[in-house]
Amino acid sequence: MRVDVWITARVVTAAATLAVLTVIVFWATEVLPGDAVGVLSGPTATDAEREAVRLALGLDRPALERYLEWIGGALRGDLGTSLVSGREVAPLVGARLSTSLAVLVPAVLLIVTLAGTLGTAAGLRHGGRLDRWLSGTTLGLIGTPDFLIATALLVLLTAWWPVLPAVALIPPGQSLWSHPELVVLPAVALALGGFGSTMRLLRASVAQTVTTPFAEFARLNGVRGHRYVWGVVVSNALAPAVMALAVMTAGLLGGAIVVETLFNVPGMGSELTQAVAGRDVPLVQGLSLVLGTMTLLLLLVGDVAAKLLHRHAPATSGGHR
Amino acid sequence: MRRLTAAGIAPVAVSLVLVGCSAGPEPGPGPEQAAAPVTTTGGALRAAFAGGSTETLNYLKGPTALDYVRARLVHAPLCELDPSAPEGVAYGVVEQIDVSEDLAQYTLHIRDGVTFTDGTALSAQDVLYSLRAPVLLEGLPFTRLVARSFDLDAATVTDPSTVVLPTLAPVADGRELICQSMLAIKDGTTEFTPQTPSSGPFTIAAFEPGQSTLLERNDDFYGPAPTLDEIALVSIADGTARVNALRQGQVDYVSGLSPAQAQTLEGESEVTVVTSDLPYASYQFFSMNLDVEPFADPRVREAFKLAVNREQIIENVYFGHAFEGNDVPALGFRSYDTTLEQRAYDPDRARELLADAGQEGMSVELTAGPELPGMVETATLLVEDLKAVGVDATLRELAPGQLFADYPAYLALPFKVGYSPPALFEPNYTPGTFPEVDVLVQTARSAPTAQERLEASHAAQRLLWEQGNQIAPVFVPAISAASTAVGGVRELQFPDLSQATVTR
């Protein structure tokens, strides 16, 4: 298939998935037990007071009507207003996304650096001492829950050797982007928890590429050093690692709940858990929709990047072109 | 009073009051310092609460404790509960409340010399608007306590410093209702922004929901001038993160700690842990549904109450930071009946009662959620206690926020946990379960003499103690912690930071 046709088809699939996702998100919030009326009214409100809250929130209208209104608004960039605080959802989600990205971007850069160098080094000499040591370490990190990594960092860098703030306290009117010192701990915690799987995939892929007849041919023809590593091995081995990185990044965007909670980073994940607990349906929907869209986008970028890498790479043992 | 909503704003537990950081450097039972450091004027206090992005300046709609703590600093209270005062209240911008002989009319006298930040003087019209605001501005149900007992539409301003407030039916506890959480706002206020005119000890310099609020001293405040120049209220949703921030000196004061977190801080030299005093402790109860067959039998209800080992709950769940309950609400308030015998832990008698009722080996599922610190843990121990007397008890644990989210479903549960924040018994009693108690509570609120009212209240409490469907093993106080440099925090239903001091 031609690449441009493939990419178009992939974009259309992503758009269709997004459309299905909106229905699922809306349906999921409908079947969530209870609603904001119960949460807001508290345990001792009278029935009349509960009914008044329900009317005020517009929860007495049919679900389909509310879905169409929501989706219509979303297309115009209006995600409604929070049932709990009465604030507009769209700017709130925007702020949370920006905060999440402030931690995620450095974390992913760290992951790419660590996974790229260590994965390539281990794969080139697979079975060697470095490879064995890295395998053990990364397996250990992959198996360690986020909260343990985060707690260990807290003990190390805020209690024993207090060089970094324990909790991200952002002054009013400022964003996390202007406070790199607040980003270090959560970003490192995310990177340590996340780089293992990407590194191991790249290592396996590099190790496999090194043994292909193609790589052997290159070596026999005197291709050495950087030309060999980058031109022959890495460019050929990168595709699966890029896809893995895309999947992991998408996961970290909304799934960094533990790290966000422990370091008080007001990001997408912690906001979503609080919104679910408060039955703040428009906020849950807005956050889920944006997370879903971002995830689909990241996966799309990952797929397209992998496809392009494959296209330019010389034949591998699998013989894909 | 301000109700804590059940929201997953779980940390609302924050709100539980933190009593006792009395002014001065040695709040609580901690080691006294040899010489009290001199309290300097000025300075800034950084206080952390659970908060969250649902934070709002509109305290009538704000579901988190932080919303009220901030509002209380920005808007002057009309008056406040004060169980030790002769009338049960301490006056604020309202300097006196007179009650008519027939308990059908309350007259509020407004203090002279109170001004808003826009320079206008506070008048009776503003006070009347403040009383009506929870209804006019569609405040959450827990803000509408006054509207439930007073005819606000018929209320009148008779002169610039007097409001006359008729009741819907005669009530004697109207002062407490008015003083539970009413703040003074300007007539016609419909939205709350940092620029909204206010009359409290501080004004809002900056506000970022879910992050922080910066408050600056209002030098035109009518009451005792605050010592602090600034207060920063920061939002840290997670209790552990709050503790970490305090340990590292990022904040000076943290609210809403769990008993376990408090335990980890006990003994640290730079930190003082404070548990709120009575009456500021939440009533945690386990409610038996009378529509479900075994609980219709009073013997079964009494057996369940006797089966609970309250001491064990206080020690193992709360590390001593809790008050023993006696299955009736409002411990520490003036009308609480202290003559009731403390319920014993008597598993043998419980077993006998269950046998008499033919309910040995009965099955029951207890539904609980983490809406209050230690709630699920208490439920776990209660289930074990019930198993020990032969009940086939199981625990169903819900996710945070789920317990009250579907209220009709919650009410229909056979056996469930619940709580109410510190509040008077009589006005907060929900009628409909025990007709005899309903009548007594009505008398306790409206009888002509104080003696008759108190006797009726005690009779109602005794009936609930004997036959009621709530097991209340403990009252749960709020736990806060502060750096030893902090003093003057008044731990009322919500912490009041207006007179706080920081010595550096």
Whether residue B241 lies within 8 A of chain A, CB to CB, comes out as: yes
> 């023993």: which residue's tokens?
B324
Rg (CA), chain A: 24
Residue B227 makes CB contacts below 8 A (sequence gap 6+) with B39, B41, B42, B43, B488, B499, B500, B501
Return the higher-pLDDT residue of B437 and A198. B437
Whether residue B285 lies within 8 A of chain A, CB to CB, comes out as: no
B420 contacts A158? CB cut-off 8 A: no
Dihedral angle sign, alpha carbons of residues B47, B50, B54, B58: negative
Given a cut of 90, whether residue B229 has pLDDT beyond it is yes
A276 contacts B237? CB cut-off 8 A: no
Which residue in A39, A151, A276 has the most chain B C-beta atoms within 10 A of its own C-beta, making it the best mutation to test that interface? A39
- Chain B: closest CA distance from residue A3 (Å): 44
Return the higher-pLDDT residue of B113 and A65. B113
A263 contacts B241? CB cut-off 8 A: yes
Residue B373 makes CB contacts below 8 A (sequence gap 6+) with B13, B16, B257, B258, B259, B476, B479
Name A139's bridge partners: none
Selecting from B61, B62, B405 the residue whose C-beta is nearest the C-beta of A33 gives: B405
Tokens at residue B35, please?
A: 């010489």
B241 contacts A264? CB cut-off 8 A: yes
In chain B, whose CA is at the least distance from the CA of A55? Answer: B138
Given a cut of 90, whether residue A233 has pLDDT beyond it is no
A276 contacts B404? CB cut-off 8 A: no
B8 contacts A42? CB cut-off 8 A: no
B404 contacts A43? CB cut-off 8 A: yes
Whether residue B419 lies within 8 A of chain A, CB to CB, comes out as: yes
CA torsion angle A19 A24 A27 A32 (round to 10): -150
B419 contacts A159? CB cut-off 8 A: no
- Chain B: closest CA distance from residue A22 (Å): 24
A84 contacts B234? CB cut-off 8 A: no
Whether residue B270 lies within 8 A of chain A, CB to CB, comes out as: no
CA gap A36, A53 in Å, rounded? 9
CB atoms within 10 A of CB A142: 14
> What pLDDT score was predicted for residue B338?
92
Which residue in A274, A280, A281 has the most chain B C-beta atoms within 10 A of its own C-beta, making it the best mutation to test that interface? A274
pLDDT 10s digits, A6-35: 889 988 998 899 989 888 888 887 766 666
Return the higher-pLDDT residue of A274 and B234. B234
Selecting from A166, A271, A276 the residue whose C-beta is nearest the C-beta of B250 gives: A166
In chain B, whose CA is at the least distance from the CA of A42? Answer: B5
What's CA B142's distance to the chain center, in Å?
11
A92 contacts B7? CB cut-off 8 A: no
Q: With helix as H, strand as E and coil as C, how does chain A read?
A: CCHHHHHHHHHHHHHHHHHHHHHHHHHHHHHCCCCHHHHHHCCCCCHHHHHHHHHHHCCCCCHHHHHHHHHHHHHCCCCCECCCCCCEHHHHHHHHHHHHHHHHHHHHHHHHHHHHHHHHHHHHCCCCHHHHHHHHHHHHHHHCCHHHHHHHHHHHHHHHCCCCCCCCCCCCCCCHHHCHHHHHHHHHHHHHHHHHHHHHHHHHHHHHHHCCHHHHHHHHCCCCHHHHHHHHHHHHHHHHHHHHHHHHHHHHHHHCHHHHHHCCCCCHHHHHHHHHHCCCHHHHHHHHHHHHHHHHHHHHHHHHHHHHHHHHCCCCCCCCC
Average pLDDT value over all residues in chain B:
86
Residue B260 makes CB contacts below 8 A (sequence gap 6+) with B319
- Provide the pLDDT confidence category of residue B23 given band limits of 50, 70 and 90: very low
B402 contacts in chain A (CB < 8 Å): 33-34, 277
> What pLDDT score was predicted for residue B34?
38
Assessment of whether the complete model's pTM goes beyond 0.90: no
CA gap B164, B162 in Å, rounded? 7
B209 contacts in chain A (CB < 8 Å): 85, 87
Residue A303, sorted as left (phi over 0), alpha (psi -120 to 50) or beta, turns out to be: alpha
> What pLDDT score was predicted for residue B462?
94
Residue type, A57: L
Whether residue B9 lies within 8 A of chain A, CB to CB, comes out as: yes
CA gap B233, B230 in Å, rounded? 10
B271-275/B94-99 β-pairing: unpaired
Given a cut of 60, whether residue B15 has pLDDT beyond it is no
pLDDT 10s digits, A273-320: 888 877 788 888 899 999 889 989 999 998 888 888 765 554 444 444
Whether residue B55 lies within 8 A of chain A, CB to CB, comes out as: yes
- Chain B: closest CA distance from residue A177 (Å): 14
pLDDT 10s digits, B68-107: 899 999 999 999 988 888 888 999 999 999 999 889 999 9
How many residues does the structure list for chain B?
504
In chain B, whose CA is at the least distance from the CA of A268? Answer: B53
CA gap B243, A69 in Å, rounded? 43
- Angle among Cα A19, A23, A26 to the nearest 5 degrees reads 135
Chain B segment 196-225 residues within 8 A of A by beta carbon are: 206-214
Size of interface A-B (CB pairs under 8 A): 179
A45 contacts in chain B (CB < 8 Å): 141-142
CB B488 within 8 A of CB B501: yes
> What pLDDT score was predicted for residue B11?
34
Cis peptide before B279 (omega within 30 of 0): yes
Selecting from A53, A96, A274 the residue whose C-beta is nearest the C-beta of B141 gives: A53
B407 contacts in chain A (CB < 8 Å): 34, 37-38, 41, 43, 50
Tokens at residue A321, please?
A: 């072109």
Interface predicted TM-score (ipTM) of this complex, two decimals: 0.78
A39 contacts B6? CB cut-off 8 A: yes
B251 contacts A87? CB cut-off 8 A: no
Distance set, CA B138 to CA B66, B132, B221, B295 (Å): 20, 10, 28, 38
Selecting from B6, B250, B251 the residue whose C-beta is nearest the C-beta of A42 gives: B6
- Chain B: closest CA distance from residue A179 (Å): 14
- Chain B: closest CA distance from residue A89 (Å): 11
Which residue in B4, B45, B54 has the most chain A C-beta atoms within 10 A of its own C-beta, making it the best mutation to test that interface? B54
B238 contacts A261? CB cut-off 8 A: yes
B430 contacts in chain A (CB < 8 Å): 44
> What pLDDT score was predicted for residue A219?
82
Given a cut of 50, whether residue B470 has pLDDT beyond it is yes
B237 contacts A85? CB cut-off 8 A: no
CA proximity to B386, closest of B376, B375, B378, B394: B394
B7 contacts A277? CB cut-off 8 A: yes
Given a cut of 70, whether residue A86 has pLDDT beyond it is yes
Percent residues over pLDDT 90 in chain B: 58
- Chain B: closest CA distance from residue A84 (Å): 6
B281-288/B470-477 β-pairing: antiparallel
- Provide the pLDDT confidence category of residue A84 given band limits of 50, 70 and 90: confident
How many residues does the structure list for chain A?
321
A167 contacts B244? CB cut-off 8 A: yes
> 């929901």: which residue's tokens?
B209
Residue A91 makes CB contacts below 8 A (sequence gap 6+) with none
> What pLDDT score was predicted for residue B8?
34
Average pLDDT value over all residues in chain A:
82
- Provide the pLDDT confidence category of residue B303 given band limits of 50, 70 and 90: very high
CA gap A316, A298 in Å, rounded? 26
In chain B, whose CA is at the least distance from the CA of A170? Answer: B211
Given a cut of 70, whether residue A155 has pLDDT beyond it is yes
CA proximity to B81, closest of B454, B499, B501, B490: B490
Selecting from A86, A92, A166 the residue whose C-beta is nearest the C-beta of B244 gives: A166
Q: What three-state secondary structure class fits B178?
A: helix
The DSSP symbol for B50 reads -
B238 contacts A264? CB cut-off 8 A: yes
Distance set, CA B258 to CA A150, A215, B276, B280 (Å): 21, 60, 13, 16
Whether residue B429 lies within 8 A of chain A, CB to CB, comes out as: no
Given a cut of 50, whether residue B35 has pLDDT beyond it is no
CA gap A104, A285 in Å, rounded? 22
